Structure 1
Amino acid sequence: MTNINSEQIASMEKFYRINLINSIAGYKSLNLLGTISADGITNLSIVSSAFHLGSNPPLLGIVMRPEREHNDTLSNIRDTGHYSLNNVQPEWLLQAHQTSASYPSGVSEFDACGFTKEYVPAFKAPFVRQSAIRIGLEVKDMIGMEINGTTIVIGEVIHILTDNELIGNDGLVDHERAETMVVAGLDSYYLPKFTERLTYAKPGINPKIKNQEIRV
């Protein structure tokens, strides 16, 4: 067994360390983050840090990298209070990955990478039409992390755009059918496969396989 200690991690070559630490925790969610500036310029970036924070109210968080001079995404969220998270499907993976390129401030990745903007009334941020699951969020809190300069953005879900057949009778979203991709590290993408649903865990009772009835 290999035991890599903190001193060894600190002395690693930069990109080796980045790949190791970014992938060690396993698969991460993968979304296209859509925003718009106060001047009406759209922005689209691929993110892998979205996490569930609560269901009532419905809250999701994302971790944004340290702010840079041309970090349009974070400034757009601050200015408008709205942003969207959109799933990534295999046929759009190359274009989605390309949104991570360092385009100059003011250039829309929607246009540069071939994605179509979609809007709903009274919501400022654009959605990605090519995505099967689109989530509209309104900012509720932004927390600056002194330890590494990142920002945690907490948003309330105020719109969900998807097809009816992707949401089951009990509310479970069928991400396999939606072809939702995930990522490990920075550039290794995967298409997850359903294994089982299990019953609610209780002390002293072995869990059982739950009937898979998530499609309406």
Structure 2
Amino acid sequence: MQLHKDEIERLERSYRLNLINSISGIKPANLIGTRSSEGKDNVAIFSSVVHLGSSPAQLAFIMRPQTEIPRDTYPNIMETGFYTINHVAEAFIEKAHYTSAKLERGDSEFERMKLEKEFIADFHAPFVKESAVKIGMKHEASIPLPNGCIFVIGSVEMIVFPDYTVNELGQLNLEKYLGVGISGLNTYYGLNKLDSFPYVREDEIPDFE
């Protein structure tokens, strides 16, 4: 199949939405946890977390446009300045997926989806206890995007992960804790390590046949 821009725009709405959401390939599955200034906890699934830099350590994610009835994640981050990023694993993908439901402001997805929250080292926002890899984040900047979405940038304040998931080079093996990825809006894939290659230098490029 080959589709040009005008043909894509004429596709049936839900078909187009699913197609464009899935053509970027597998994306990371993460739960973002927040706590309001009143102490109400929220958790929601995101597939847009990206690495920005290692020194300083920064990650970012994309927040959908804030409507007249904003949900909890972004207001909580703006109120308190803190949030958590928690890797999703096979054991709780269904619970994680349903955190995308549009609950009333203040209703906790932790309670509705029976996910256990965890507070570590006095960090303000809740972590997901079931998650093997947990990242404590501090909000640094929010950049408006042309489509109305918001690019949320944060600094990494703390990391929690099992010793067995990282090698001597500091590389996490997502397969060891059955991490998952997302294609589109609602399809989940298991992750298998296929290979690992050295840092590429021009004079070390193999002769590919």
TM-score normalised by structure 1 residue count? 0.92
3-state DSSP class of the match of 1:75? Answer: helix
Aligned equivalents of 2:123 and 2:164: distance in 1? 25
Unaligned runs of 5+ in 1: 209-216
Question: Share of identical aligned residues, percent?
Answer: 37
Specify the alignment match of 1:70 in structure 2: 70
Aligned equivalents of 1:176 and 1:23: distance in 2? 22
Specify the alignment match of 1:36 in structure 2: 35
Deviation digits for residues 66-92 of structure 1 (CA, Å, limit 9, x no counterpart): 112132100001011101111111110
Aligned equivalents of 2:187 and 2:15: distance in 1? 14
Specify the alignment match of 1:9 in structure 2: 8
Q: Where does 1:147-162 land on structure 2 (aligned, <5 Å)?
A: 147-162=146-161
Residue 82 of structure 1 contacts residue 137 of structure 1 at CA under 8 Å; is this kept in 2?
Answer: yes
3-state DSSP class of the match of 1:142? Answer: strand
Q: Where does 1:79-98 land on structure 2 (aligned, <5 Å)?
A: 79-98=79-98
Deviation digits for residues 162-201 of structure 1 (CA, Å, limit 9, x no counterpart): 1111121111011110211001000110001111101121
3-state DSSP class of the match of 1:139? Answer: strand
Unaligned runs of 5+ in 2: none
Deviation digits for residues 104-152 of structure 1 (CA, Å, limit 9, x no counterpart): 111000111001111123421100001010011001111111x211001
Runs of 4+ in structure 1 off by over 2 angstroms are 204-208
The two structures, once aligned, show a CA RMSD in angstroms of: 1.3
3-state DSSP class of the match of 2:100? Answer: coil
Aligned equivalents of 1:11 and 1:35: distance in 2? 39
User: What amino acid sits opposite 1:115 in the alignment?
Assistant: L
Q: Where does 1:1-216 land on structure 2 (aligned, <5 Å)?
A: 2-68=1-67, 69-145=69-145, 147-206=146-205
Residue 173 of structure 2 contacts residue 193 of structure 2 at CA under 8 Å; is this kept in 1?
Answer: no
Distance apart, 1:207 and its partner CA: 5.0
Residue 50 of structure 2 contacts residue 61 of structure 2 at CA under 8 Å; is this kept in 1?
Answer: yes
3-state DSSP class of the match of 2:152? Answer: strand
Distance apart, 1:204 and its partner CA: 4.1
Aligned residues: 206
